[in-house]
Amino acid sequence: MPQSKQESTPLAEVNGDVLSLEGFRSNYSDEEWNSLTPEEKKQEIENWVNVTLLAQAAEERNLHEEKAVRQRIDYATKKIKANALIARRLASVTIGEEELFNYYRLHLSEFQSKLPEYDVQRILVRNEGAARILLQRLKDGYEFEVAVAEQSQEMLRDKQGRMGFVNAAGEDSLFWRAAHALMPNEPGIAGVNGAVYILRHTAQRDSNQDADFTQYRDQIRQILLQDKQRQVYEDLLRELKMQDNDIYYY
């Protein structure tokens, strides 16, 4: 007998469109999935239902048949596939400590400066899954001060989550490191001593401390990672274009 198709686990159904656990799970890494609470998973499923309902309404109005929409769908599909290929190649890429320090040594003049201090505002959240959901809400327009008051799990919310100025050498250096990687007023996620925060810095000032390799390690890692991503992209294209592909420009 032919092997039967593996059944999926339904989570919800919207006008006959079954939303499965497997499809829902594919949107998260293992770490993200394990950090989500049952309440957060329930909310994400509800968001998925809402998006499905809106998409169905768009199809009923034949919006997906419009040329511009079809082109955007086609481009989005190709981009997802291309990113999956690049991500698979990047999974084998590593950046060692020696490589980081060699870059620092070769570009020493770019890193010789006084370190800034940052005025940090933070929100303590339950876990990384909650942090990612809240971060997206902030990017979508949720006011940071309102989020502090409504979401923060610590008493510092009574001071609008404001830590004051932190520096690279003080006891709050991990918050400094996270703030240093962000643009002014840009929210980001930071794990500090087993807790997870969303933070931003709203002001900065010069300090008397000179910068060294340890303060720039994360920044250098990001620079090298971007270089390797670009190299992987170029190598993949070079390999593919050396194969027997038909490409025409009009």
* Closest of 129, 223, 117 to residue 180, by C-alpha: 117
- The domain locations on the chain are 10-65, 82-113+211-250, 115-210
Q: Which residue has the tokens 């340890």?
A: 214
Give the mean pLDDT of the chain: 87
The pLDDT value given to residue 52: 92
Looking at the predicted structure, is the pLDDT value of residue 4 above 60? Answer: no
Please report the sign of the dihedral spanned by the C-alpha atoms of residue 155, residue 161, residue 165, residue 170. Answer: positive
* Closest of 108, 8, 10, 100 to residue 52, by C-alpha: 10
Of the pLDDT bands very low, low, confident and very high (cuts 50, 70, 90), residue 62 is very high
The pLDDT value given to residue 163: 95
Looking at the predicted structure, is the pLDDT value of residue 43 above 90? Answer: no
Question: In CATH, what is the architecture of 115-210?
Answer: Roll (3.10)
Helix (H, G, I), strand (E, B) or coil at 54: helix
Of the pLDDT bands very low, low, confident and very high (cuts 50, 70, 90), residue 89 is confident
Q: Do 199 and 120 touch, CB atoms closer than 8 A?
A: yes
Label residues 3-22 b or e (16+ Cβ within 10 Å = b).
Answer: eeeeeeeebeeeeeeebeee
Model confidence pLDDT, tens digit, residues 97-148: 899 989 888 887 777 667 789 999 999 998 888 898 999 999 999 999 999 9
Model confidence pLDDT, tens digit, residues 151-198: 999 999 999 999 999 988 788 888 998 998 899 999 999 988 889 999
Q: Return the higher-pLDDT residue of 206 and 99.
A: 99
**Residues contacting 126, CB < 8 A, separation 6+:** 37, 153, 196
Could you count the other beta carbons within 10 Å of the beta carbon of residue 182? 16
Segment 197-206 shows an average pLDDT of 94
The pLDDT value given to residue 6: 55
* Closest of 106, 98, 113, 125 to residue 36, by C-alpha: 125
The pLDDT value given to residue 146: 95
The pLDDT value given to residue 181: 85
